[in-house]
Chain A
Amino acid sequence: MSFLQRKRAIKLTADVAMAFAKDGAKWSHALIMNLAKKPKNKTLLRSILGSEYERLTKPCLSWKMPRAKKILQRSFKMHSRIKKGARRLPGVNAASVHAEAAVTRTKVLKRLVPGGEHWDNSSLLEETLDYVISLRAQVDLMHLLVKALNVPNLK
């Protein structure tokens, strides 16, 4: 196996392990689903998850917002955008700039957290909290592994 293949396999394993350890969170389910989409990951996923594979990869729509609500939200946003557009003429206010900045950054965060596009703002923040904690745990774990295996540091 080539170096890159190994690295990919290790990263996959680490991510799956991290997601599996925190099974109550939405992001973990989303992460596993995202990984299961690619065909080359399937065998590894199956071997790692074992019995849980079927349970975790069946699509669960409970935390995704129902379509009707999405349509309503989209129309509401359009409406508010139109309103804001009309009000933007009297100069640039700090509030609108602030709100825009927050919106763009929320979009970026949605891309970072696995599965983040489907959640609303408050659950997004909750899931990022969870995700950050788990990521930190994963990094610490891998640091420990590296130290334990005495991996030579080539620079």
Chain B
Amino acid sequence: MEPTRSSGAGSGNSGTYTPEIAESLRFEEEIQSLMHPSLEPPPASDGGSSFTALLGLPANQAVELLHEPESDDSLAVAAAKASGREMWRFRLRDPKALTLPSGCSPTFPSNAALVERAARLSVFAAEDSPEAASVPSHSGDRSPKPKAEPADSDSQPICPIPGERPQRLAKRKEADKGNKVKGPAKKTKSAEEGSAKGAEENTSGEKLPYVHVRARRGQATDSHSLAERARREKINARMKLLQELVPGCSKISGTALVLDEIINHVQSLQRQVEVLSMRLAAVNPRIDFSGLDSFLSAECGRVTVGNGRGGGGMEQSAWMEATVVNGGRRQPQQQQQQQQIWHVDLVHPHPTPPVWERVDSPHLIINPGTSLFGYDPSNSVVSLHSNQLKTEL
């Protein structure tokens, strides 16, 4: 099931990240000493200071930022963070790579893997565009998984793509020998750089004004092939993300089979929704509308206004459905029993908002998958519900 698999992934990731974190501590102090003046600017500020400000922030603040209730801003923030992180990793020639803010919570590593990848393909946060541009253009080429990356931070990630070898040779001539990670040592067009600096940073995260790609050594540099290559790399990056998301897809190579798996997964999820909605429809409609409507509407109104989100709204609307459905029917049931039932079920909104928020935060947290992967096992919540039901009845 999801939680077990996710917790395994999370623990695995956290294990591999700790050496990185230990290494980066010393480096972080240096950064913080530099960044302290820039701690004030808000994270959603534009320009290049945002990622530096984020890097200077302590870890818990950064976590808070990521949990801000605005998906677009937090997406840009996380993209900025992650891409900034990437940039620092590439800029520094020493093996210290700042992968994560130190002392981050254990749920973060499972975040960071997908967040990094999302950030890599997002050209949105184009603070320092040459570097950030090299990041998304790398995303298509880079095969190492996030777990292997920390181990490979010293040695060059081995890329099986033949086009990369002439690149590496070119780089060895230019870049210094300490860090063999692919860096900004690529041929660039001056025109691109000029327009890169003029590119605005996009906080909406939906449309890209310009896509800046670097021409690789030995490849055509006319605008058409560049644009094509940028498109292809975007598509490849997104395919990689999808591969990671769909279980069992990472081993498969080849676009068609991966697409097959994705289609199967989507279809199975849709079928599951159907089945579950049938099971929910089988709930015995024992609810009597009389005498409870005022209480119910008050509760529903309060909760829906308070939540304003789909998860809570869904439960409430499901309940409202049930009441509206059975409003016409006068079932000969004891009112007290129903009142008890209703009281119990309306008590749920109080503990449930945390649950809904956690489950619902797919749209709040940047990498929505993590909230599912990271939340506490449903067993505890479910047992809470069933206990409440049992005690009341």
The reply to whether B389 and A137 contact each other, CB–CB distance below 8 Å, is: no
Residues 127-155 of A at the B interface (beta carbon under 8 Å): 128-154
The reply to whether B362 and A102 contact each other, CB–CB distance below 8 Å, is: no
The reply to whether B246 and A142 contact each other, CB–CB distance below 8 Å, is: no
CA distance A40 to B119 in the complex (A): 42
B204 to A, closest residue via Cβ: A24
Q: Is A22 an interface residue (CB 8 A)?
A: yes
B232 to A, closest residue via Cβ: A122
The reply to whether A140 and B267 contact each other, CB–CB distance below 8 Å, is: no
Q: Within the complex, what minimum Cβ distance (angstroms) separates A15 from chain B?
A: 8
Contact of B313 among A23, A48, A113, A140 (CB under 8 A): A48
> Which stretch, A1-9, A67-75, A77-85, touches the partner chain B?
A1-9
Question: Which of A16, A19, A135 is the most central at the interface, judged by chain B CB atoms within 10 Å of its CB?
Answer: A135
B379 to A, closest residue via Cβ: A147
Residues 226-276 of B at the A interface (beta carbon under 8 Å): 231, 234-235, 238-239, 241-242, 245-246, 254-256, 259-260, 262-263, 265-267, 269-270, 272-274, 276
Which residues of chain B come closer than 8 Å to A136, judged between CB atoms? 2, 269, 369, 372
B118 to A, closest residue via Cβ: A129
The reply to whether B266 and A21 contact each other, CB–CB distance below 8 Å, is: no
Interface size class of B (residues with CB under 8 A): 35 or more
Which residues of chain B come closer than 8 Å to A122, judged between CB atoms? 231, 234-235, 238
A130 to B, closest residue via Cβ: B368
Q: Within the complex, what minimum Cβ distance (angstroms) separates B268 from chain A?
A: 9
Q: Is B317 an interface residue (CB 8 A)?
A: yes
CA distance A49 to B311 in the complex (A): 13
Which residues of chain B come closer than 8 Å to A139, judged between CB atoms? 269, 272-273, 276
Q: Within the complex, what minimum Cβ distance (angstroms) separates A101 from chain B?
A: 4
Residues 265-313 of B at the A interface (beta carbon under 8 Å): 265-267, 269-270, 272-274, 276-283, 285, 309-311, 313
Q: Within the complex, what minimum Cβ distance (angstroms) separates B170 from chain A?
A: 29
CA distance A130 to B75 in the complex (A): 13
Q: Is B378 an interface residue (CB 8 A)?
A: yes
Contact of B71 among A3, A24, A151, A153 (CB under 8 A): A24
Q: With A122-B231, A139-B269 in contact, is A128–B242 under 8 Å at CB?
A: yes
CA distance A151 to B278 in the complex (A): 11
Q: Mark B7-45, 1 if CB is under 8 A from A, else 0.
A: 000000000000000000000000000000000000000
Q: With A132-B246, A133-B245, A137-B368 in contact, is A17–B314 under 8 Å at CB?
A: yes
Q: Is B125 an interface residue (CB 8 A)?
A: no
B348 to A, closest residue via Cβ: A148
The reply to whether B238 and A132 contact each other, CB–CB distance below 8 Å, is: no
CA distance A80 to B270 in the complex (A): 35
The reply to whether B254 and A137 contact each other, CB–CB distance below 8 Å, is: no
The reply to whether B256 and A101 contact each other, CB–CB distance below 8 Å, is: yes
A6 to B, closest residue via Cβ: B281
Which residues of chain B come closer than 8 Å to A17, judged between CB atoms? 310-311, 313-314, 317
Q: Is B64 an interface residue (CB 8 A)?
A: no
Q: With A122-B231, A125-B235, A135-B266 in contact, is A140–B372 under 8 Å at CB?
A: yes
A49 to B, closest residue via Cβ: B313
Q: Is B92 an interface residue (CB 8 A)?
A: no
How many chain A residues touch B (CB < 8 A): the figure is 61
B235 to A, closest residue via Cβ: A122
A7 to B, closest residue via Cβ: B281
Q: With A98-B255, A102-B259 in contact, is A10–B385 under 8 Å at CB?
A: no
CA distance A3 to B234 in the complex (A): 46
Which residues of chain B come closer than 8 Å to A101, judged between CB atoms? 255-256
Which residues of chain B come closer than 8 Å to A130, judged between CB atoms? 368
Q: Is A121 an interface residue (CB 8 A)?
A: yes
Q: Within the complex, what minimum Cβ distance (angstroms) separates A96 from chain B?
A: 12
A50 to B, closest residue via Cβ: B304
Which residues of chain A come closer than 8 Å to B270, judged between CB atoms? 112, 135
Contact of A132 among B72, B254, B260, B265 (CB under 8 A): B265
The reply to whether A147 and B235 contact each other, CB–CB distance below 8 Å, is: no
The reply to whether A150 and B2 contact each other, CB–CB distance below 8 Å, is: no
- A-B pairs, top 3 by smallest CB distance, nearest first, are A21-B310, A17-B310, A17-B314
B-side residues, CB < 8 A to A, are 2, 71-72, 206, 231, 234-235, 238-239, 241-242, 245-246, 254-256, 259-260, 262-263, 265-267, 269-270, 272-274, 276-283, 285, 309-311, 313-315, 317-318, 320-321, 325, 348, 355-356, 359-360, 362-363, 368-369, 371-372, 378, 381-382, 385-386, 389
A-B contact pairs, 18 of them (CB 8 A): A7-B280, A10-B281, A13-B314, A14-B318, A18-B314, A22-B362, A24-B206, A106-B259, A112-B263, A122-B234, A135-B273, A137-B359, A140-B359, A145-B280, A146-B279, A148-B348, A148-B382, A150-B389
